[in-house]
Amino acid sequence: MSLDEEKRAIVVRLEIEKAYETLKESTILAEQNMWSGAANRLYYALFHAVSALLIHDAHTVKSHKGAGVLFNNHYVKNHKVPLQYGVLFGRLEDLREEGDYNCYYKISSEEFSSSVVPAKAMIDDIAAMVEK
């Protein structure tokens, strides 16, 4: 999908808004001790933030794996974002997949809770990057 600058800016803004909304959803689920759902929403909050960054720089996001590859290749490896952001994004994607598809796997409060502050920082940093 090819976007002109005005439409791209709108989509980027909407992706950032969705990232913060989804982050809030993860917190609400965590308050109810619904760790799988909370981890799912936390991953999606990062996915929307990463998508905003990729779209901002005219990259095409076609899949979750593709977003991760593009993010790592264009931002993590080039030191435009901290290495831990790539690690966090990958870890939360794995956690979401385990929680969503593996009926034997139970996400713990610790697995979720240790990711919340870094995820919020990552979203804040990406929001600042796309507002420039």
Taking the C-alpha atoms of residue 24 and residue 57, their distance in angstroms, rounded to an integer, is 26
**CATH class, 5-131 region:** mainly alpha
List the alpha helices (DSSP H) in the chain: 5-31, 35-56, 64-71, 83-101, 109-131
Percentage of the chain exceeding pLDDT 70: 99
pLDDT in tens, the chain (132 residues): 578 899 999 999 999 999 999 999 999 999 999 999 999 999 999 999 999 999 999 999 899 999 999 999 999 999 999 999 999 999 999 999 998 899 989 999 999 999 999 999 999 999 999 997
Taking the C-alpha atoms of residue 47 and residue 65, their distance in angstroms, rounded to an integer, is 10
Taking the C-alpha atoms of residue 11 and residue 54, their distance in angstroms, rounded to an integer, is 11
